[in-house]
Amino acid sequence: MSLAIVLGLVSGSLNAEERRGWPLAEQTYIQRHSPTEPKALLAVLKEIINESIKQHVRYSRFLYGQMKRLERGEWAPKIAIQTPVHERSEADKIAEARAVYPPEIFERWLATYRFADQAPQPQKTVVEFKKRKAYG
């Protein structure tokens, strides 16, 4: 996962000089195993800023701002807070979908989600059956 996604960087929000320094930030982030936990991410952001200063590359104001917000506890990466989809309860999945989708789309999603496991499985055709029998 990229640093831009973890920090919530909006496309086009960096000026030309900051964009030139962004590859260094991404490279450092990846070399440090792409942390998403707040403490580890804070250490990497500080390292990115120090490395940028050493190499005389401009770091982005956005990166610096997110680092400061993280230090003060005003912001945390959403990725670190979320649990993997396969570990969430059914109620959590439904609540998340309700928050994300407009009401009419949510109702259709809910109808397909609830009955997905009860949907009839497609019948095998005669050709598939013969192929399977012929090949063992």
Domain span at 97? 85-135
* Cα–Cα distance, 134 to 66 (Å, whole number): 62
Structure tokens at 6: 């973890």
On whether both 54 and 118 belong to a single domain, the answer is: no
User: How many domains in the chain?
Assistant: 2
CB 8 within 8 A of CB 50: no
pTM beyond 0.75, yes or no: no
Digit-coded pLDDT (tens) for 4-63: 888 888 777 888 888 888 899 989 998 998 888 899 999 999 999 999 999 999 999 999
Largest CA distance in the chain: 69
| pLDDT category of residue 111 using cuts at 50, 70 and 90 | confident
Same domain? 11 vs 51: yes
Radius of gyration of the chain (CA): 23
